[in-house]
Structure 1
Amino acid sequence: MDRSGRDGTEKTATTFQEIIDGKGRVYRVGESDRDLLGGRSRKLMVYLPWVAMMAISVSEYAYGSAEGTLSHAHGWTQGDTFWILSVWVFCQAGIAFPAGWLRERGLLTARRAMFAGAVLTLLGFLALGHVDQVPGAICGFGVIGGIGSGLVYATCINMVGKWFPERRGAKTGFVNGGFAYGALPFIFVFNYAFDSGDFKEVLDGIGVYVLIVVAGCAWFFKDPPKNWWPAEVDPLHSDGRPNTGERPGAGERPHSEGSGKSAVSLARNPPAVRQFTPGEAIRSGMLPLIWVCVVLTAGVSVFGISFQVDFAKDVGFGPLVAASSMGVMSVVNGVGRAVVGWLSDLWGRKNTLVLVIVALGLAQFGVLWAGDLRSQWLFLFFAFLSGFGGGAFYPLFAALTPDYFGENHNATNYGLVYSGKLVSGLFGGGLGSAVVGAWGYNGAYLLAGGVSLVAAAFTLLLRQPGRRRLCEATPDPRPLSRETI
């Protein structure tokens, strides 16, 4: 039943087939990534989002190193700078759902979302450097800059997940990692070459840098068609065996890119049993549970980013150790995201996620212990562990969402999941500052470690909606197809 669709632009036949499994899920196969991207490999949709994520990472992961100079230059208190960051986190996470809703209805393309994000991020840095009043800085950097970074972040994460539905763990982790270690050069700039005499010029330059890099990447962004699935991987088998049948394109354009890796990943992380709308994902009970886990875990992560440098200085470590600890956190945070994404393809998403969240909790106790001992090397080690746990869970949640609920509504479903960072930004940064003021660093780090362990316990309750029913049912193994033009 092979049928041909027509590309209205190039006026050439592009053959594909829509395969329907026993649960009614549709897989569009037959079109290669090069067919859809004008001769380019889908790997481009990994590298470009990765570069864009590195560009916007300075907004969050280098902010803690800049807040001392900003406080002195603008006359802000420590609480003021932390609330500015908290609002940034709130808006950066909050824009994911409305942006996803607009994208899935065709009202906002990926390219336009990226262009808008680049411009708004530039405006955020301009406000941070030139606006002295706290409310103005909150509106400029916190709201406008946060929305800009959030548009870029959400678009990049959803893009890579759509193009690699069969191996999204490693690819999502790699892209997500750029959001952390991309800030490394700026951490040292803010610690050694950032003062009240040049801070405006430095922030202006960073804003222009982000604009150029993100806009350049955005030019090539393109989503695959809905239900698209790589032709070399059989969607009807959970072991991900390569296609060898007579499906359109399988014989004409054979390629074996990652077919063995895909088999292992799909065996450990089978695709969603169907495409869940946001309402259906919420009613399954799993999306709200994932949201709670994100709130708790991200709150601990934001706390570590916001207070590690200040805690290091408070216990008497010099600026090199303070900057290095944040640099270590940034690098390991990013590299850890790529590593656990790859591991989750081998071990399973949920198992890897529990391990990461437990490591994050233990790291909070370790940072406090090292500070009490005044041990610089021990402090750097637990900063390493905190950086690993504090970033690695993000790509796991990003990959887990389409694993559970499918790809077609992932922009909105993941937008809902990622909105948990709205709440975590408040208690991780601003509320964290209040806890430090009331209980000191000892009480704050003990609380953060405990919260992370609670999140790990909740994660153990996660399960893929409908998977048990799917196993008990007897699916119809015969593929069906229908013409799509």
Structure 2
Amino acid sequence: MTAHGIAPEGRRDRDAGPLPLPDGERIVRGAQGRVYRVGRTDRELLGYPRWTMVLLPWVAMLAISVFEYAYGAAEATLAAAHHWSHTGTFWVLSVWIFFQAAVAYPAGRLREKGAVSSRTAMLAGSVLCLLGFVSLAHAPALWWAVAGFGLLGGTGAGLVYATCINTVGKWYPERRGGKTGFVNGGFAYGAVPFIFLFSYGFDAGNYRAVLDLVGVYVLLLTALAGFFFKDPPKNWWPAHVPVPGAGGPRGSSLPDAPGGARATDPPGRVRAKVADQDVRTALALRKNPPAAGQFTPRQALRTGRLPLMWLCLLCTAGVSIFGISFQVPFAKDVGFGPLVAASSMGIMSVVNGTGRGVVGWVSDRLGRRVTLTYVCVVLGLAQFGVLWAGQSGNQPLFLVFAFVSGFGGGAFFPLFAALVPDYFGENHNASNYGLVYSSKLVSGLLGGGLGAAVAAAWGYAGAYATAGCVGLLAAGLSLLLRRPGSPPGRSDGRVPGMPGAVRRAAG
């Protein structure tokens, strides 16, 4: 038995997996009793470096972005070709948003129970995405589009989205902000080519063929990327990163050098690069310390922080979806040409996506909660700016505020995706984040269908003013977020599921 607590043979740790552990692995108990599983590298577990678990999810997110971010550009053609009302056409998107968010929690529970692997979730999602676009292209009635694009396509995109976000967080527990933001960004700027396609090359004569081809494109990218998905063991921690609060040896202080040589005495350039990575990792962990324990969904709910996150995401996502849905129609309504309308949405999507990566990187340095508050303020004020520029007929200023709105309208998603495991741990993150993300069930209805009703009743002025106030409300709610202590219900500070012998050694 080591000082760090290797469990005796024949025992099983509920969180760390079957024991005895493979050669080179050990269980380390860090600050506040949290368990870390260290010793095996990403290459040993995957067969390739863990950055592939950033690249592949990013590719899949690029593919599914066309569902949400390009729909507004296609709405007019779809309504005319199918003889649907504009409100009915937007309700198709609202139903898609509902199911895209609804699938996150149940899919997460199935993954955590081992019933569904990340690869299986991705492949199933890719097939459903194809069916969604085929249904939208060939729907004989509105309810066919609601069932096919909304239900099937939303479920498929939700499986892909949730799996991608959770996979990245599992492989980068020490510096997840920038990585999660980069992957999440693909969900926005990946739609830019399709925004212009639907604005200029999409009409009643070719819409079926175009939508069928888009469905095949989404299928190929998500299936090819998802085939290589794999999760690390529960509680896994990178071998080269110190365990926060453990105080014991960290193993190798430097990763392997290129060519297979050990990095115990690397050349100056390699040492400087590794030292810089260590400094950035240490800063990220200081600003965003790991969760005090591995919270189950029930424990996370009992802290009160998870419901507060749910409400904050409800507000921000509703404002974001409203902007995505109505920026192009609003630009056309105030007399801007199709180029300005499409360009404003293209700018919004690009900045929406790149802003996610930038804000994720910034949050590693400033702290996740502080960054979230700033983003919510920007999102709320940008709605008033878009309204003012549109009503004044100022096209350059309209594009500027579209830029700002796009930044705020996407940046909060990776912040919540990183904040949830920061507060509640990685082991149950698929379920915990699924619960928080389920607020999009309501925000999709508020931002899409209800947004259309408000715009019809109060005009765009009333709709944009309401959206701006909701964004500022989210900023106020974010100020109440605080990192919880140990999971509730633990009176002795012990780690649930940790064998007694391991607890004694770790203590």
Fold shared, TM-score > 0.5 on shorter chain:
yes
- Determine if contact 2:288/2:368 at 8 Å carries over to the other structure: yes
| CA deviations over 1:256-277 (Å, ceiling 9, x no partner) | 4832211010000000000000
- Determine if contact 2:362/2:371 at 8 Å carries over to the other structure: yes
1:235 to 243, 257, 261: 243
Superposed displacement of residue 14, structure 1:
3.7
Number of the residue aligned with 2:296:
277
Amino acid at match of 2:380: G
Number of the residue aligned with 2:307:
288
Whether 1:265 and 2:287 are equivalent positions in the alignment is no
Amino acid at match of 2:234: K
Superposed displacement of residue 23, structure 1:
2.3
Structure 1 residues 264 and 22, CA, compared in 2 at 3 Å: closer, same or farther?
A: closer
Whether 1:422 and 2:431 are equivalent positions in the alignment is no
Superposed displacement of residue 235, structure 1:
1.6
Number of the residue aligned with 1:138:
146
Q: Distance in 1 between matches of 2:180 and 2:118?
A: 17
Number of the residue aligned with 1:29:
38
2:50 to 32, 42, 46: 42
Q: Distance in 2 between matches of 1:309 and 1:16?
A: 54
Structure 1 residues 245 and 172, CA, compared in 2 at 3 Å: closer, same or farther?
A: closer
Structure 1 residues 310 and 246, CA, compared in 2 at 3 Å: closer, same or farther?
A: closer
Number of the residue aligned with 2:498:
none
The aligned length equals 469
| CA deviations over 1:169-223 (Å, ceiling 9, x no partner) | 0000000000000000000000010000100000000000111111000111000
Structure 2 runs not aligned, ≥5 long: 11-20, 265-273, 495-500
User: Percent of aligned positions with the same letter in both sequences?
Assistant: 62
Please give the TM-score of this superposition, normalised by the length of structure 1. Answer: 0.92
Structure 1 residues 27 and 482, CA, compared in 2 at 3 Å: closer, same or farther?
A: farther
- Determine if contact 2:240/2:251 at 8 Å carries over to the other structure: no
- Determine if contact 1:181/1:332 at 8 Å carries over to the other structure: yes
Q: Distance in 1 between matches of 2:68 and 2:138?
A: 19
Correspondences of 1:55-454 after superposition (within 5 Å): 55-237=63-245, 245-246=250-251, 256=274, 258-454=277-473
Number of the residue aligned with 1:9:
none
Q: Distance in 1 between matches of 2:99 and 2:493?
A: 45
| CA deviations over 1:14-72 (Å, ceiling 9, x no partner) | 4111101242210001110001011x100000000000000000000000000010011
SS state at 1:28 partner: strand
- Determine if contact 1:15/1:248 at 8 Å carries over to the other structure: no
| CA deviations over 1:355-388 (Å, ceiling 9, x no partner) | 0011000100000000111000000000000000
Q: Distance in 1 between matches of 2:377 and 2:254?
A: 45
Structure 1 residues 13 and 277, CA, compared in 2 at 3 Å: closer, same or farther?
A: closer
SS state at 2:290 partner: coil
- Determine if contact 2:70/2:198 at 8 Å carries over to the other structure: yes
Please give the TM-score of this superposition, normalised by the length of structure 2. Answer: 0.88
Amino acid at match of 2:66: V
Amino acid at match of 1:28: R
Amino acid at match of 2:325: S
Structure 1 residues 474 and 288, CA, compared in 2 at 3 Å: closer, same or farther?
A: closer
- Determine if contact 1:30/1:247 at 8 Å carries over to the other structure: no
Q: Distance in 2 between matches of 1:27 and 1:347?
A: 25
Structure 1 residues 248 and 169, CA, compared in 2 at 3 Å: closer, same or farther?
A: closer
